[in-house]
Homo-oligomer: A and B are copies of this chain.
């Protein structure tokens, strides 16, 4: 697909976008404010821009008069980029250049990193834990009437140098029929052991040659969402993927409330049954999506936090939530998927990622494996921000990890109009420094319903940078605008007026919301700092940051640093791997070596119970500011604020 350049005026900011990109999103990317209340649905009509050169598709509506249209006015949210453009933002009041400069910086999302299949193959690591062998066995005779299994095993030893083989009962059950279906031409599926000196299991036999069809499932068992992928083990490619809400949500939003439910009579069994149902739905969808024969699936690898893993395995989890927070186990044996209730063939083994502790689970271990922290020299900070938040710091020598009680703010929890990153959530935001009019971008470009984590971070960071809120997260009481008001004694900013929303009331951002965000980011940041201190390092030693979790995909890194969620660093040091848990599950499905390494890695991962770590509370309290009590930890931001102070305060309209 072709790309086009857009020059935004009067800002003189240029950006390159894909053909067909929405113009208002392009402006947001470029850090150019355009008033837009309705989230991009086209109904508020505020996002008028003048296309001075080039061609857009759409952008017309009854909100624009014929005159306007002829002058080049378009509604930015309805216009798609078709060529290089020059776009002018009409400045409807007198703004000084300073104010213009105080506009949002261009978006800086993290580079997305994926598994490098070529590298895996080059290094000889692309050896999935299951392998298919096509064999033409000699047919039995009176002189050679070996048992069917011995015939297969003997041939594999003799012709394929396979030793230490063992055979599953399910194979014994089907082998008489399978061998004779195509005159003793068969394909055997071999499951490799973790330790090289252990036995290789023959888990399946199929008539004829099926070596071109060998698939695996990788799955992330999240507290909120369960994601699955069908992988082609010949190429390593993802054939299909699907995510669905974990059916356990009805029994509690977070792991603690799930555990509480599991302690009721029949509760554990219920939660187990419900998560298996969701898993089976996801399996059904991805099998459908990949158009494969489900019998060709050889293995399923699952990663989840410790509670999700235990509930999936029907393991009593009550002690996870009680001091001293003891899980039943952190290493799980391979289990027949069908024994867990999974709708998969008898021969499929479920491989479950090991955990480190009650609150550093298999999802984080999977992220460590998938992202490769455990084999890098660079000091890496890995942050997984989901319903639970976990941090890992380290490299190939050592790994320190901790769970942060960050709470659900990043997923919209505890925020008055907070919501998950779903259609109608404000995910990006800018504010006119003079009029204080907002620019709301919503997921799906529909009228707002609420605000999600990335929108919240951007809104708070933007307002903090413009001194609309102070370092305590309080609105500047001096500003006079209808957007900032008190409702029942609580200060709030109106992101969208009632008639611009889907919910028949104003979408607002309140001071308690900001306070919750500060606590959440404070927990994450102080967790990082505490871990670093425990190993005698500081933030400036960090070579790179890896963000994982659904949340991280759209976060503006600069904004995350402004609020003090991330240590201040070059945004190109930050990469985003998306669902780290799923990535790790996929990695294990493709390279058996991971399964051997992972046990060593979990041993290397030193878990810090933050609540038991002396300095944590001090660090936490110090982090309950925007960005932090110690501005020296954020030197760039400190410099900007210093410069701004010299320019004087912003004048309200």
> 1/0 per residue A93-132: CB within 8 Å of B?
0000000000000000000000000000000000000000
The distance from the CB of A254 to the nearest CB of chain B, in whole angstroms, is 20
With A and B bound together, what is the CA distance between A149 and B329 in angstroms?
A: 5
Q: Which of A55-63, A296-304, A318-326, A618-626 contacts B (4 or more CB under 8 A)?
A: A318-326
Partner of A169, one of B313, B316, B326: B313
In the complex with contacts A167-B333, A197-B197, A333-B166, A328-B145 CB distance below 8 A: no
Chain B nearest CB, measured from A217 CB (Å): 19
Main secondary structure of the interface of A (DSSP, over half): loop
Smallest CB–CB gap between A245 and chain B, Å? 26
A477 vs B67: C-alpha distance when bound (angstroms): 134
Point out the residues of chain B lying under 8 angstroms from A198, CB to CB.
198
Shortest distance between the CB of A266 and any CB in chain B (Å): 15
User: Considering the chains assembled together, what is the distance between the CA atoms of A464 and B335 in angstroms?
Assistant: 64
A612 within 8 A of B: yes
With both beta carbons as reference points, the residue of chain B lying nearest to A173 in the complex is identified as B315
Q: Mark A279-316, 1 if CB is under 8 A from B, else 0.
A: 00000000000000000000000000000000001111
Q: Is the Cβ of B175 less than 8 Å from the Cβ of A326?
A: no
Return chain B residues, CB-CB under 8 Å to A328.
147-149, 172-173, 175-176
Q: Is A150 an interface residue (CB 8 A)?
A: yes
A591 in the interface (beta carbon within 8 A) = no
Interface residues of A in 323-351 (CB under 8 A from B): 323-333, 335, 339
> Which of B146, B314, B317, B339 contacts A326, CB < 8 Å?
B146
A462 within 8 A of B: no
Given contacts A173-B313, A176-B316, A176-B319, contact A142 B609 (CB under 8 A): yes
Contact B331–A149 (Cβ < 8 Å): yes
Point out the residue from B166, B176, B609 that lies within 8 Å of A145, measured CB to CB.
Answer: B609
**What's the nearest-Cβ distance from chain B to residue A190, in Å?**
15
Cβ distance A265 to chain B, nearest Cβ, rounded Å: 14
A175 B329 Cβ-Cβ under 8 A: yes
- Beta-carbon contact of A142 and B316 below 8 Å: no
Interface status of A177 (Cβ within 8 A of chain B): yes
Give min CB distance, A442 to chain B, whole Å: 43
Q: How far is B328's CA from A15's CA once the two chains are assembled, in angstroms?
A: 68
CA of A175 to CA of B328, assembled, Å: 7
B313 and A148: CB pair below 8 A?
no
Any chain B CB within 8 A of the CB of A72?
no
Q: Is B197 touching A333 in the complex (CB atoms < 8 A)?
A: no
6 residue pairs from A and B, CB less than 8 Å apart: A142-B612, A145-B609, A147-B355, A169-B313, A172-B332, A176-B318
Q: Which residues of A contact B (CB under 8 A)?
A: 140-150, 166-169, 172-177, 180, 197-198, 313-319, 323-333, 335, 339, 355, 357-358, 609, 612
The 9 closest A-B pairs by CB, nearest first: A149-B329, A145-B324, A176-B316, A172-B329, A147-B327, A147-B330, A142-B324, A176-B328, A140-B326
User: A176-B315, A198-B198 provided; 6 other pairs, C-beta below 8 A?
Assistant: A142-B324, A145-B324, A148-B326, A167-B329, A172-B328, A173-B314
